Amino acid sequence: MTVETAPAPAAPAPAAPARRGPTLPSGSVITTFLVLFLVVAAVSVEGFASTRNAGFLLLDVVVIALIALPLTLVVVTGEIDLSVASTVGLSSAVMGQLWIAGLPLEAIVPLVLVLGGVLGAVNGFLVTRLGLPSLAVTIGTLALYRGLAFVVLGDQAVADFPRAWTTWAISSIGSTGIPTVVVPLLVLVVVTAVVLHATPVGRSLYAMGNSEDAARFSGIDVARTKLWLFVATGVVSALGGVYWTLRYGSARADNATGLELQVVAAILLGGVSIFGGSGGLLGVIAGALLLASVRNALQLVNVPSDVLNIVTGVLLITAVVAPQVTARVKGRLARRRPAS
């Protein structure tokens, strides 16, 4: 008697790869563009290569790069925060109002950072707990926080901060022209880079950007992680508000208006995908330096400020469109290539 055995069940089909956006230029590509532009500008733009101008350029980069650090982590997960500049403005306004009330800066700075954490938590709660899209949420809080800044301080400016604080904010390291504040910024860059590229936390952020469902199945608490990223972005943006106020020696409700475009442009130029799941911090820093260098060079040749905003917009659109075009061209070339 022949015993027939049932065929072994077929292995389950592999899961479809997570959908990702087109790959953006790597950090090395953006760094190459940065170096080429610096060489061309140093040769063709009078005063660009001077120590004094290099110091001003780095001062312009500081707040953009600072806020870009946590925002890069947010974008890697597939989210966005467009309220960062308004958080800077509201933090500056509150800083000015507390100074008017007689509090010392040693007490004001921690309070402002706590405020930034609360503002970030509001964004994170609406996105992670209510399931609202971060783009819509942070467009709303962009307007809300800026409006609150004017409620707090109105259209007045507070400009009598201690000279020791304001002088430090623009001081340089010896005769190098390198701003002192670049040192703590570099420390934060290194810490953020280690977290993003060399820890399980960083790997989980990329996993969330590639596929939230897969990240959840692997045990990652997606909602909690994103909530804390928004909180961190709020705290760092508030720190940017403190530095902005001290650098310019003035607390105003309209401080840093439009800064969010420069930060997002730096991140996208640096190769971080707007769809999440790819990109690195080296490219982001290079993108911030490239954007600031272009604006600085144009200012030295007396280009109007309105044109500078146009340039920022063009670079932002280019950073989004270029990967799409590149991906389509590669796809067409691949289809035309004869099969081996």
**Strand, helix or coil for residue 333:** helix
What are 56-103's pLDDT values in tens digits?
Answer: 999 999 999 999 999 999 999 999 999 999 999 999 999 999 999 999
Q: Is the pLDDT of residue 9 over 70?
A: no
Q: Is the pLDDT of residue 10 over 80?
A: no
Q: Whole-angstrom Cα distance, residue 265 to residue 248?
A: 23
Q: Whole-angstrom Cα distance, residue 282 to residue 286?
A: 6
| Strand boundaries in the chain, DSSP class E | none
Structure tokens belonging to residue 71: 């925002």
Q: Name residue 172's beta-bridge partners.
A: 179
Q: Whole-angstrom Cα distance, residue 241 to residue 235?
A: 10
| Measured CA distances, 317 to 32, 36, 45, 120, 314 (Å) | 20, 21, 26, 26, 5
Q: Is the pLDDT of residue 337 over 80?
A: no
What are 37-62's pLDDT values in tens digits?
Answer: 999 999 999 999 999 999 999 999 99
Question: Which residue has better confidence, 185 or 13?
Answer: 185
Rounded to the nearest 5°, which phi and psi values hold at 179?
-60, 140
The length of the chain is 340
Identify the band that residue 320 occupies on the pLDDT scale cut at 50, 70 and 90: confident
What are 242-263's pLDDT values in tens digits?
Answer: 999 999 999 999 999 999 999 9
Range 272-293 average pLDDT = 91
State the pLDDT at residue 304: 87
**Of all residues in the chain, what percent carry a pLDDT higher than 90?**
74
Domain spans of the chain?
Answer: 48-166+175-256
Identify the band that residue 339 occupies on the pLDDT scale cut at 50, 70 and 90: low
State the pLDDT at residue 307: 84
Range 184-213 average pLDDT = 94
Q: Is the pLDDT of residue 124 over 90?
A: yes
Which ranges in 133-221 belong to alpha helices (H)? 134-153, 163-169, 182-198, 200-210, 212-217
- The DSSP code for 251 is B
Q: Is the pLDDT of residue 19 over 90?
A: no
Range 301-329 average pLDDT = 79
State the pLDDT at residue 23: 42
∠ CA 14-15-19, rounded to 5°: 140
Cα-based torsion angle of the residue sequence 227, 232, 235, 237 in order, rounded to the nearest 10 degrees: -100
Give the highest mean pLDDT range of 154-163, 230-239, 320-329.
230-239
Identify the band that residue 149 occupies on the pLDDT scale cut at 50, 70 and 90: very high
Identify the band that residue 338 occupies on the pLDDT scale cut at 50, 70 and 90: low
Structure tokens belonging to residue 162: 């201690």
